[in-house]
Amino acid sequence: MTTKSSSKNKKQGPKDADAYIASQPEAFRRSLQTLREAIQGVVPDAEEAFVYGVPGFKLDGKPLACYAGFKNHCGFYPMSPAVIRAFSSELKDYEVSEGTIRFRPEKMLSMTLIKKLVKARMAEIRKGSS
């Protein structure tokens, strides 16, 4: 017997960044809002969008940067392994993988570092690199 998947059975997450941030624990909300505002400050013409299921921004139709809250950490995604590698010395105190920077809300990335990462990703996009 074939059954149709009902949208009622699927978990529906927040539909916008405000709702996403509001759904996070208080300490995480502050960190995520700081990331959001920093990205907007560097690239005010970026389009706010959900990318790969998490809130973030697109620039010229390409993913610019995203952020997310998890059970034990926040994640910042500059959407570029090359950008993360370029700032590896400044990221040495954080858990980093190819595309992710993980941090606890009490050990937030500095605004200076966030801005550097976003500017580097913006330059990559504007040069035509993914």
Nearest to 87 by CA among 107, 101, 72, 66: 101
Distance CA 105, CA 119 (A): 22
Per-residue confidence band for 128, with pLDDT thresholds at 50, 70 and 90: confident
Taking only the tens place, the pLDDT of each residue in 2-28 is 444 333 333 445 679 999 999 999 989
Determine the CATH number of domain 15-125: 3.90.1150.200
Pair 32, 21: CB distance under 8 Å: yes
Averaged pLDDT of the chain: 89
Q: Could you tell me the pTM of the whole model?
A: 0.85
Distance CA 64, CA 75 (A): 14
Whether residue 42 has pLDDT greater than 70? yes
Task: Read off the tokens for 18.
Answer: 């405000």
Q: What is the pLDDT of residue 15?
A: 73
Q: Give SS3 for 94.
A: coil
Give residue limits of the domains in the chain. Answer: 15-125
Per-residue confidence band for 84, with pLDDT thresholds at 50, 70 and 90: very high
